[in-house]
Chain A
Amino acid sequence: MNLVRIRALAKKEFLQILRDPRSLILSLAIPVLLLVLFGYALTLDVDNVPMVIWDQDNSQTAKHFILDFHNSRYFKIIGYYDTYQDLVWKIDTGEAMIAMVLPKDFSRYLGSGQPAPAQFLIDGSDSNTATIARGYISSVIANYNQHFFAHAVAGVTIVNPQPVSFKPRPWFNPNFESMIFIVPGLIVVIIMTIAALLTSLTVAREWERGTMEQLVATPVRPNELVVGKFLPYFCIGLFDLILSVIMAKFVFSVPVQGSVALLFALSSLFLCGALMMGILISIISRNQLLASQFAILATFMPTVLLSGFRYPIWNMPAAVQAVTYLVPARYFIVIVRGIYLKGVGIRDLWQQALFLALFAAAMIFLAIRKFKKKVA
């Protein structure tokens, strides 16, 4: 390895990136696009569940009850109707997810101290959202009950209606905001995709344009070439990481709880592996189009689907779980979420870090070896 040659290669590569609008746009736009898209648009939160109501009772009590839903940010009352056909129609068209029906005797039951039935029709097609919505309904009603008793018992002793009091205390993300869960995971997706996609073009381009022919006739060694190509992209990767961390904090209010230094150190390790994977893909395919397609397939897809980024790994069938062990993002996502949300240190993350180191080492080894073979 010779530093003069590596410097020449890195500088050349850097100039080429600067002159190639495609690389620049990819490296700057992808992080912002992914963060905005996943952060704002593709949120997992269930807010503003559309709801229609048929209030047959029309009493003051019923109005009070409905008001609790009205005031909740989880529901959005989009209309009042007085036939089942209308309710069903609204659910069929997808305009409403929930239809609430309060029977004629709703207030009378409550007044006489008997349980009052309230019917909720829920569109269960999207089972996840339906389950979450049902949970919200329960909590609104529980809340209502508590207040109801508090008012009814003024001065009179009454048996506690809730023998066990449930006091959940969610850690790390007390308001269950999906953004807090998604944003650190997104950083993983961004680094993996950018790194592999950008580098996947770099060696293939040299083969395509014939510049490799000249390069291999110089004293340049395969490891120098690989390192020289790696360095500028490593800088871009770090830049994207900084960009993501800043956006996470100031745009999405997701700050790093743990050590920022540790986050950057372990991210660099992951970045190494991802960049080398891109270079390896580029060396193998020799063709820019093929290389970029393969890079997307090999990085973006598994990272989004199989890393635990959105879909919990423990929920997958054993065979698929086994596959996830081969997805490097799986380890990195534990690290990023750990540092970001739980503020944990290397003592809890060293195993994952070890896997990342292994991944990076394997990619470096394979890239250099493949390149030697290709040239000979």
Chain B
Amino acid sequence: MSQDTTVAVEVHDLEKCFGSFVAVNRVNFQIARGEIFGFLGPNGAGKSTTIRMLCGILTPTSGSGKVAGFDIVREQRQIRQNIGYMSQKFSLYDDLTVEENIDFYSGLYRIPNSERAARKEEIIKTAGIEEFRTRLTKDISGGWKQRLALGCAIIHRPTIIFLDEPTSGVDPITRGNSWATIKEMAAHGVTVFVTTHYMDEAENCNRLALIYKGTRIAIGTPMEMKTVIMKDQVMEIQVPDSEIWSERVRAVSGVKQTALFGTAIHAVVESAEKTGPAIEALFKGAGVAGYTVRKILPSLEDVFVSLIEEYDHEHIKAA
């Protein structure tokens, strides 16, 4: 394993089994310092299990890894001192006030007394919760709680922060606020490991890994995902009554799949050059006017749907 200080996180063949169930299946990746690394995948794919192994909460069944230079099997305590972690479920104390929660985590991370007040103010200000400081946490709304939780998770200025679905179930303003905080931290050299299933958020990441059924099925920058990694191409079709046409476009030879995006149809095709004219021929034959068919850059959602289907297809064939 490299001693490179530019590497914040690296794992090799990381595996976690619960009984006979393989939750995480020999996953590999490397994250550079200051990177925002998105870990994407559907529910139950193994995202939380991976995060918990990286944070020193779970011990892997096999494989190895380093976080902030510490071994994830043997140096879990050092890891915990150097990282921040925000779990999926809100996990501050409802029956403590905002300030008391912050004080509690200041104590746990042994923030020097001289710095405590300043850090507390910083967290309260960043999260925009000045008016709630003496309120019980259970009496403030979900979005504010989430911002407070994020603040508590970074109170000790960790070099790496792990966020497990930080924005699930919160309002758009809080999502925006959280991402602003995340980007701000990354700009200061903090490495951010974030799981999400919001594709628009994934675009904020420097690099992404897609995990599905415990397996890492793709890794790269968002642009690489859309261009190199996704072998198929996407065509956007604008046509009146698109919901009716969607089925018929799918029947065209060379079209793998169609989906509706607003009023447009996205068709996944092996080759835009070959299949494009075939689709246009369909409309011409039916006498439809006012249609457009053009090749577009796939959205991350297109990429992931396509990659997952490909994976399922291969594994069904294999089985």
Chain A residues near B (Cβ < 8 Å) = 2, 4-5, 7-9, 11-12, 15-16, 19-20, 209-211, 213-221, 375-376
Contact = CB atoms under 8 A, between A and B. Distances in A.
A43 B91 CA distance: 49
21 contacts: A4-B107, A5-B108, A8-B103, A8-B107, A9-B104, A11-B103, A209-B91, A210-B90, A211-B93, A214-B85, A215-B108, A216-B57, A217-B80, A217-B83, A217-B85, A218-B80, A218-B108, A218-B109, A221-B77, A376-B58, A376-B59
Given A8-B104, A16-B95, A375 B57 contact: yes
A177 to B, nearest CB: 45
B217 interface: no
Nearest to B82: A219
Interface string B75-86: 001001101011
Contacts of B105: 8, 218
B104 A220 contact: no
B55 interface: yes
Given A214-B85, A219-B80, A15 B107 contact: no
Interface in B51-68: 55-59
A355 B89 CA distance: 44
Contact of A8 (B77, B95, B108, B136): B108
Contact of A211 (B85, B91, B106, B110): B91
B106 A8 contact: yes
Interface of B: 55-59, 77, 80-81, 83, 85-87, 89-96, 100, 103-110, 136, 153
Given A11-B104, A11-B107, A219 B81 contact: yes
A357 B31 CA distance: 51
Contacts of A5: 107-108, 110
Contacts of A220: 108
B108 A210 contact: no
A16 B93 contact: yes
Nearest to A213: B87
A214 to B, nearest CB: 4
Contact of B91 (A7, A15, A214, A375): A214
Given A5-B108, A217-B55, 9 more contacts: A8-B104, A8-B105, A11-B104, A11-B107, A12-B100, A217-B85, A219-B77, A219-B110, A221-B77
A220 B80 CA distance: 9
A218 B56 CA distance: 9
A16 B85 CA distance: 23
Contacts of B106: 8
A298 to B, nearest CB: 27
Nearest to A220: B108
A16 B95 CA distance: 6
B247 to A, nearest CB: 44
If over half of A's interface residues share one DSSP class (helix, strand or loop), that class is named, otherwise mixed; here it is: helix
A209 B89 CA distance: 9
Nearest to B108: A218
A7 B107 contact: yes
A210 B87 contact: yes
A198 to B, nearest CB: 15
A361 to B, nearest CB: 25
Report, nearest first, the 9 A-B pairs whose CB atoms are least far apart: A8-B107, A214-B91, A217-B85, A210-B89, A219-B81, A213-B87, A19-B95, A218-B108, A210-B91
A242 B93 CA distance: 31
A7 B105 CA distance: 11
B106 to A, nearest CB: 7
A15 B109 CA distance: 19
Contacts of B103: 8, 11
Contacts of B55: 217
A18 B27 CA distance: 46
Contacts of B83: 217
B100 A217 contact: no
A9 B110 CA distance: 12
B109 A219 contact: yes
Given A2-B110, A15-B96, A219-B77, A213 B91 contact: yes
A214 B80 contact: no
A97 to B, nearest CB: 54
Given A12-B93, A16-B95, A214 B107 contact: no
Contacts of A2: 110
Contact of A213 (B89, B94, B96): B89
Contacts of B58: 376
A219 B103 CA distance: 15
A214 B92 contact: yes
Contacts of A214: 85-87, 91-92, 153
Contacts of B89: 210, 213
Given A15-B100, A216-B57, A376-B59, A211 B108 contact: no
A73 B87 CA distance: 69
Contacts of A211: 91-93
B80 A12 contact: no
B59 to A, nearest CB: 6
B130 to A, nearest CB: 21
Nearest to B85: A217
B73 to A, nearest CB: 11
Contacts of A9: 104, 107-108
A218 B154 CA distance: 11
Contacts of B93: 12, 16, 211
Contacts of A11: 103-104, 107
Among B94, B103, B108, residue most surrounded by chain A Cβ atoms (within 10 Å): B108
Nearest to B95: A19
A331 B106 CA distance: 42
Contacts of B95: 15-16, 19-20
Given A5-B108, A11-B104, A217 B92 contact: no
Contacts of B100: 12, 15
B82 to A, nearest CB: 9
Nearest to A221: B77
Contacts of B136: 19
Contacts of A8: 103-108
Nearest to B76: A376
A214 B136 CA distance: 19
